[in-house]
Structure 1
């Protein structure tokens, strides 16, 4: 979808602006880089408690471990199809520590992030309320990997799984982030008997008008076809015609900026924050366009 000049401009943007992790992601996907180079960089964001912080999620600038950056670490390992056992052991240990004992599940965020720069939507007033986001995706990705599975029968994990089953139909069915949590969990849980009817319910929600933004030119903080289905194997691809996908691919290619990178669709916290997000998103957009 891009000319050679556009691709080279995107490469220059990444190497000029993106953080090391996203440069290593780019190297891995497009220039023969190694899995280990990505994992080695990812480990720099992991704390001694096993969780991830240190602005792995660029809008959460705190060094302390948080659930959302920990989810992001799992997503990056899934992206490169390499779940590192040492990183996983740390994540499992961290999740065991932060699981809400009365309900199961992990919080969306901890109040400790309030002391450091963060986007306003991450301001947190309560540490002890479990949230579907990111619990559903975390559990789904832990089911997806097969490197370490001994914790599946541990009480904290089983309780968290039950939390997801109990709260799935209580989500905001128009919220992209909540829907992705359900998709990741339901497509990876080994309990297929229970997942089948819930997928039928989820399918109904996803096909409601306005849930997946079909207008390739829609502006603002919206989630379009290629957000829900960034690859041909994405779960939501089954309802989206090739014609619509092509329209969105063309629009996505046209969103490339003069400097070679892609923009973000929400207010930046700072110039550095914007550069970090744009570097990450530019790699994402190139992967989608290549796909």
Structure 2
């Protein structure tokens, strides 16, 4: 349980050190500011082409748009439950429609220009394959992008939507046995917006693969990898019923390992661009801490404040 005193320490860190976007999201979740104030901060990362960049994903500092950065922005949009008629959504969906590679049947995570700016090594793009290091399978970020096209289907040509959805389901069937954490997260987001009753076999396969991949020991959690909370950050998550016992242990671990100043520490590093990594690391601290606090709130691990508090 997070005591009120500890919560105040965490709150102080977020309000003083998190980037404005994450700070405003925290205030929205725990206070009474309008979601529009968070959207204003989010739109600062949006470019004229409708896509997002400007280091919204702190591990690559490309100012221009990329499909990957735009998926990060859409995760904020979903958490805020922004109205489908909002221009931020229309412009982002148009960006996805305009950047699909019809010949390759995919979106590439980031453009080659990412190499010209500070970035983590796993975001470096191979100029011959056009792949970044994270692109081991089609799923990431393609399945997640398809989830947004499904969610906002009124903005997407129906024939194209059916084409990419069919492709996503085919890739799922072909690749599920080799998917890793990020691939699975993309498909979780897709199946969360599809009618569950239509895909029982696929969901069973998804659950089985997550249970194979998820790390359930505290020793493993010291390093970067798929924790139970990664797959089920709230009790409303699709995978929660299958991970609830592991999640209780994971939550206790996260509470115990909060820094005494009230933040989560990223357990990875770039190994290059040292000064830029330090900036990214601070941004990650705020992002991760706000995300954890949302989970702790949803799972009931925050001590209730008295009326005087």
For normalisation by structure 1, the TM-score amounts to 0.90
What residue is the counterpart of 2:90 in the other structure? 89
State yes or no: 1:37 paired with 2:43.
no
State yes or no: 1:181 paired with 2:182.
no
Answer whether contact 2:177 2:209 (CA < 8 A) is retained.
no
Deviation readout 1:75-98 (Å, 9 max, x if unpaired): 001111114520111112211221
State yes or no: 1:196 paired with 2:200.
yes
What residue is the counterpart of 2:257 in the other structure? 255
Q: How many residues align structurally?
A: 284
Name the Cα RMSD after superposition. Answer: 2.1
CA distance in 1, matches of 2:162, 2:37: 34
Unaligned runs of 5+ in 1: none
CA distance in 1, matches of 2:124, 2:176: 20
State yes or no: 1:233 paired with 2:251.
no
Answer whether contact 1:60 1:113 (CA < 8 A) is retained.
yes
Deviation readout 1:81-135 (Å, 9 max, x if unpaired): 1145201111122112210112433112211111111111000124489932111
What residue is the counterpart of 2:171 in the other structure? 167
Deviation readout 1:265-291 (Å, 9 max, x if unpaired): 211552111010110110001111111
Could you tell me which of 265, 268, 281 is aligned with 1:274? 281
What residue is the counterpart of 2:266 in the other structure? 264
CA distance in 1, matches of 2:5, 2:278: 26
Give the 5 Å matches for 1:73-152.
73-83=73-83, 85-125=86-126, 126-127=129-130, 131-145=138-152, 149-152=154-157
Answer whether contact 2:52 2:65 (CA < 8 A) is retained.
yes
CA distance in 2, matches of 1:255, 1:87: 36
Deviation readout 1:214-243 (Å, 9 max, x if unpaired): 11342211211111111111111112244x
State yes or no: 1:224 paired with 2:224.
no
Q: Specify which structure has the bigger relative contact order, considering alpha-carbon pairs within 8 angstroms and separated by 6 or more residues.
A: 2
CA distance in 2, matches of 1:51, 1:241: 36
Answer whether contact 1:28 1:38 (CA < 8 A) is retained.
yes
Per the alignment, do residues 81 and 213 of structure 1 end up closer, same or farther by CA in structure 2, a change over 3 Å counting? same
CA distance in 2, matches of 1:97, 1:91: 10
For normalisation by structure 2, the TM-score amounts to 0.85
CA distance in 2, matches of 1:141, 1:83: 13
Give the 5 Å matches for 1:32-71.
32-71=32-71
State the secondary structure of the residue aligned to 1:270. helix
Deviation readout 1:231-264 (Å, 9 max, x if unpaired): 111111112244x332221111111102211111
User: How much does 1:190 deviate?
Assistant: 5.2
Answer whether contact 1:105 1:164 (CA < 8 A) is retained.
no
Answer whether contact 2:96 2:145 (CA < 8 A) is retained.
no
Answer whether contact 1:216 1:224 (CA < 8 A) is retained.
no
Unaligned runs of 5+ in 2: 271-275, 299-309
State the secondary structure of the residue aligned to 1:33. coil
CA distance in 2, matches of 1:241, 1:158: 34
